[in-house]
């Protein structure tokens, strides 16, 4: 990958990082509203759960974005962390923080759906 390309991705990732950090900061105080109405209670609980799930997803994303920025620094950006093949430019354009190539990502997704831990844990356990 050329320096220009790396700079382009770094810029995208830094913007994304700032954006996510901002969102997560604003969510810091998920307020727990107390209501005497039982139906409201249920609704609030559902909303809270949704908010927490979004928060989870966003902190995961932020972790991936930060990891990708670290990979730009250490020169391993754009290389699949599992099979060490180049990640296709098309995929990097769509998901600049992708740690895996498509094939490995699919394995990771499948494992996640089955309730297993991340691919990394799986690989550690397999070793």
Kindly list the residues in this chain that would bind Zn ion in the complex (CB under 5 A).
80, 82-83, 101, 104
Nearer to Zn ion, 47 or 75 (CB): 75
Q: In the complex, what is the shortest distance from the CB of residue 107 to Zn ion, in angstroms, rounded to a whole number?
A: 8
**In terms of Cα–Cα distance, which of 83, 89, 85 is closest to 2?**
89
State whether the Cα torsion 96-71-120-48 is positive or negative. negative
Q: How far is the CB of 37 from Zn ion (least distance, A)?
A: 51
Quick one: 9 or 100, whose CB is closer to Zn ion?
A: 100
DSSP characters over 91-106: HHHH-TT--S-HHHHH
In the complex, least distance from residue 98 CB atom to Zn ion, rounded to whole angstroms: 10
């Amino acid at each position: 990958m050329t320096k220009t390309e790396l700079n382009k991705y770094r810029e995208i990732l830094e913007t994304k990082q700032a954006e996510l950090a901002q969102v997560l900061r604003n969510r810091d105080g998920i307020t727990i509203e107390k209501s005497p109405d039982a139906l409201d209670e249920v609704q609030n609980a559902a909303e809270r759960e949704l908010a927490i799930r979004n928060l989870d997803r966003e902190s995961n994303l932020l972790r991936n974005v930060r990891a990708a920025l670290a990979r730009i620094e250490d020169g391993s950006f754009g290389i699949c962390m599992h099979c060490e093949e180049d990640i296709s430019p098309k995929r990097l354009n769509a998901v600049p923080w992708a740690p895996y190539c498509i094939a490995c990502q699919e394995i990771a997704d499948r494992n996640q759906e089955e309730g297993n831990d991340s691919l990394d844990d799986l690989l550690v356990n397999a070793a």
